[in-house]
Amino acid sequence: MASTLIELCELISASVRTVDARCTALSASFPDLNKTDNTEEDQRLLRDDEIAKATSIALAAASQLIACMQFPTRSILDASLGFLTSAAVGVVAEASITEIIREAGPQGCHVDDIAKKNGMSELNIARVLRPLATQHIFREVSPNVFANNRISILLDTGKSYEEIAASPEDKHERAAGYASLIQLNTDETFKGAAYIQDVVTNRNGSDDELNSPLNRAFGTNLDLFSWYGQPNNKLRFKRFGMAMDASRRMSPPGAVLKGFEWSALAKNALIVDVGGGIGSVSLEIARANPDLRFLIQEKQAVVQEGKNYWEVEFPGALSSGRVSFEAHDFFTPQPVKNAGVFMIRFICHNWSDSYLLKILKHLRDAAQSTTKLIVIEHPLHFVCGEDESFRHIPGAFPADRPPKPLLPNMGIVELPGYLIDMQHQMMALLRGCERTFPHYWKLLREAGWEIEEVHHLPGTLVDQIVAKAL
């Protein structure tokens, strides 16, 4: 019998050959790491079903091979120091270093020239860029000269450094890349995460929503969204909205359309996008389904921003009455009684069970017998494999199991979901959490909903959980 090391190596080798053969069949080349763009053609190639599956196996196997072969002391030390990579990325994003390097040209930019633009110390610039380049984020092309690659360029807003410096509050407005999301992760989330240990290990701690790492980090007694509403957090609140839109753009275009059959709804059916932000997901559905109506419910502070977004992205949708906005607090009774669908996307993970039950029960109280509830979230998988008792629910149980000896949850491929649970908006900023499927089943049943089916959105870690009223 082959050793685990050989089995993992064979999985990597076979997967890479599959990717190479598929690229050849498509007359394409796998994107070079040293490129300084991520074209639509590249994205389509990486999302090709055969390439995506083989790549996932290769990544899971490579990560497991490193864990098997590396000294355990090195592995645990690396894990404990991971926060320093976050800190370095945060410095780069805040100081607009990617934009400065991009403007210097493909030959790269010396740290002295970066310093002349953004005022940082030349030494400190090198000290944050070098560990990133060591992890293949940026390239050091000659001593103290750094260039972008297809990873670092994702921090690029596409704007000139002068434009950003002249109007920093508009840095993320209509920006390319994912800098807004990265700055959210490396600012309030990163600072809140420093207090996770204090909060979760405190045996005398309260489960109150306002006893979060965020509260400790920033000395506030407000919840996240009320904190964002404070005058001194105006830029953070604006960035948060842009970050949520950036996170949506990380999914393949039209991913939300590849699960639930929106076109099967009755003509003029009303979709209520609860806590829908500026309505970017509803917009994707609306464009593909002209016979559906939409109501986007959000806090008053977001409503006008949402209307402005739709006027630019889908002119006429608001004036025709097909799309509307409503200021609504989802902890209060739901005023809409004729919804065909209540959609809640990335809302559940923001709240603890007791608070989420309030949201779900208000929706159940307003539902008709035909109303569907669509929960769009990142359900976490058990590392040991899924609970067999839910095999009868269409889509709830994975159709394929990873090849041995890979972890049943595909290891590093699924890691972002667990990290989001801890470090993004859940444990660090709020008292919510990402949940397993059995956890969602229990909560939805308690709130008066029964899960009918689950749709995994291809190319993402996201599922659509579809429920009906009990």
Q: Say whether 463 sits in a helix, a strand or coil.
A: strand
* Farthest-apart Cα atoms in the chain, separation: 68
Tell me which residue has tokens 């000659």: 142
Nearest to 423 by CA among 191, 200, 251, 222: 191
Report the alpha-carbon distance of residue 295 to residue 135 in Å, rounded.
Answer: 44
Report the alpha-carbon distance of residue 167 to residue 156 in Å, rounded.
Answer: 16
Handedness of CA 285, 288, 293, 299 (dihedral sign): positive
Report the alpha-carbon distance of residue 148 to residue 139 in Å, rounded.
Answer: 6
Nearest to 245 by CA among 168, 351, 345: 345
Query: 127-156 in b/e burial notation, b at 16+ Cβ within 10 A?
Result: ebbeebbeeebbbbeeebbbbbbbbbbbbb
Answer yes or no: are the C-beta atoms of 175 and 159 closer than 8 Å.
yes
Instruction: Lay out the sheet containing 323-327: strands in order across.
Output: 323-327, 293-298, 270-274, 341-345, 372-377, 463-469, 449-456
At CA 52, angle to CA 86 and CA 255, rounded to 5? Answer: 80
Q: Say whether 197 sits in a helix, a strand or coil.
A: helix
Which of 110, 328, 349, 424 is the catalytic position? 349
Nearest to 180 by CA among 101, 137, 237, 228: 237
* Count of alpha carbons within 13 angstroms of residue 203, beta-carbon side: 0
From residue 89, how far is each of 129, 147, 258, 335, 423 by CA, in Å? 8, 15, 33, 43, 15
Answer yes or no: are the C-beta atoms of 448 and 211 closer than 8 Å.
no
Q: Is-catalytic flag, 110?
A: no
Which residues does the annotation mark as catalytic? Answer: 349
